[in-house]
Amino acid sequence: MKQIYFIINPKARNGYSLKVWGKVETKLMDDKIPYLAFFTEHHGHAIQLAAQIAEGNNEQKVIIAVGGDGTISEVMNGIAKYNNITLGFVPGGSGNDFSRGFQIPSNPEEALKVILRLMNEEVPSIDIGKVTMKDHSEHYFINNMGAGFDALISYEVNHSKTKAWLNKLSLGRMVYVFFLLKKLFSYKCTTIDLSIDGNRHILEQTWFVTVSNQPYYGGGMMIAPDAVPDDGLLDITVVHQLSKLKLLLVFISVFWGKHIHFKEVKTFKGRMVTIHSESSLYVHADGEDIGFTPLNIHVQTKTLKVLTRV
């Protein structure tokens, strides 16, 4: 069996991730499965830990992230440039969009059971997206990235204590709704210059652009219902020329993927995407704020081995 490494974010969902890890660890010990475990201590630490594991030697290894979408995104950013790592995930956060999109059970013991079974099968390689910012810094995403209103919401969520408070009430997913309503009526839309595989689109009064590798984001919203993580394409969703009140209706419909039927919602597929805007817009990758527009995005086709049931 390949060496198994766990990277655990003990702060995910106000410490709930530690309880998840406790159940996983008990199962590992009961089944006498050898492993090594590392705990993150600060933002970005999982990137460092994952890279160190990958660099240790060229042997094939499995790294399993225990936490939320931010945790698995950090681990993925740490191993994106290595080919000796297989990535797994035990959900322990509040959003867990990766586990939805890649069909990993929410129950810790069941998730581990699935992971151990998948390790003995042929592991598929999936696509990831690479974002290159104006300062030439690079960021990878496994779920999605966005520019505009949704990225502003992510920024507010990540810099607020409200999420922790709602997590205590088991309402962590509602934090996105809270900040959407808080920022909705003060947000100013802008014109987006969007290029997809060389085809240019000028989109006025744009709320946001989201580029997806799998369907879910924001704690269960099906932003890109047709997204497939291994088709070599990214799914682009643009919401523009929409009133504030109608945006609420569109927002409600996103949970079922029905927003794509509104005429103000444009969808595209492509391999290379460039986003420019009249004014600088917040940008997120897998829910983590990474800077501002302009930026370039390239799909990295079948780059990452992932333990998934998709």
pLDDT band at 243 (very low <50, low <70, confident <90, very high): very high
Q: Using DSSP bridges, classify how beta strands 199-212 and 288-292 pair: parallel, antiparallel or unpaired.
A: unpaired
pLDDT at 156: 86
Strand partners, 64: 6, 88
Q: Which amino acid is present at 294?
A: P
Angle formed by the axes of helices 175-183 and 149-158, to 10°? 120
Query: What is the model's pTM?
Result: 0.93
pLDDT at 310: 67
Coil, helix or strand for 32?
A: coil
pLDDT band at 123 (very low <50, low <70, confident <90, very high): very high
User: What is the Cβ-side half-sphere exposure of residue 158, based on CA atoms within 13 angstroms?
Assistant: 20
User: pLDDT of 261-308, one tens digit each?
Assistant: 999 999 999 999 999 999 999 999 998 999 999 999 999 999 999 999
Strand partners, 199: 196
Q: Examine the pLDDT at 1 and tell me if it is beyond 70.
A: no
Question: Residue for token digits 């990225």?
Answer: 151
pLDDT at 170: 53
Phi, psi of 203 (to 5 degrees): -120, 110
| Mean residue pLDDT across the chain | 92
Q: What is the DSSP letter of 70?
A: H
Interatomic CA distance for residues 149 and 50, integer angstroms: 31
Tokens of 206: 């744009």
pLDDT band at 95 (very low <50, low <70, confident <90, very high): confident
Interatomic CA distance for residues 27 and 19, integer angstroms: 13
What secondary structure does DSSP assign to 76-99, as a single string?
HHHHTT-SSEEEEEEE-SS--HHH
pLDDT at 180: 83
Q: Examine the pLDDT at 62 and tell me if it is beyond 80.
A: yes
Phi, psi of 115 (to 5 degrees): -60, -45
Interatomic CA distance for residues 41 and 37, integer angstroms: 13
Q: Using DSSP bridges, classify how beta strands 272-277 and 190-196 pair: parallel, antiparallel or unpaired.
A: antiparallel
pLDDT at 188: 94
Tokens of 120: 């003995």
User: pLDDT of 182-230, one tens digit each?
Assistant: 888 899 999 999 999 999 999 999 999 999 999 998 888 999 999 999 9
Mean pLDDT of 88-106: 91
Q: Which amino acid is present at 268?
A: F
Coil, helix or strand for 112?
A: helix
- Considering only residues 15 and 5, tell me which one the structure prediction assigns the higher pLDDT: 5
pLDDT at 239: 97
pLDDT at 94: 79
pLDDT band at 174 (very low <50, low <70, confident <90, very high): low
Strand partners, 266: 238
- Considering only residues 183 and 163, tell me which one the structure prediction assigns the higher pLDDT: 183
Q: Using DSSP bridges, classify how beta strands 288-292 and 282-285 pair: parallel, antiparallel or unpaired.
A: antiparallel
> Rounded to whole angstroms, what are the CA distances from 63 to 42, 96, 130, 198, 288?
19, 17, 21, 37, 21
Q: Examine the pLDDT at 154 and tell me if it is beyond 90.
A: no
Judged on CB neighbours under 10 Å (0-12, 13-18, 19+), 161 is exposed
Q: Delineate the domains of the chain, giving CATH numbers in brackets.
A: 3-123 (3.40.50.10330), 129-303 (2.60.200.40)
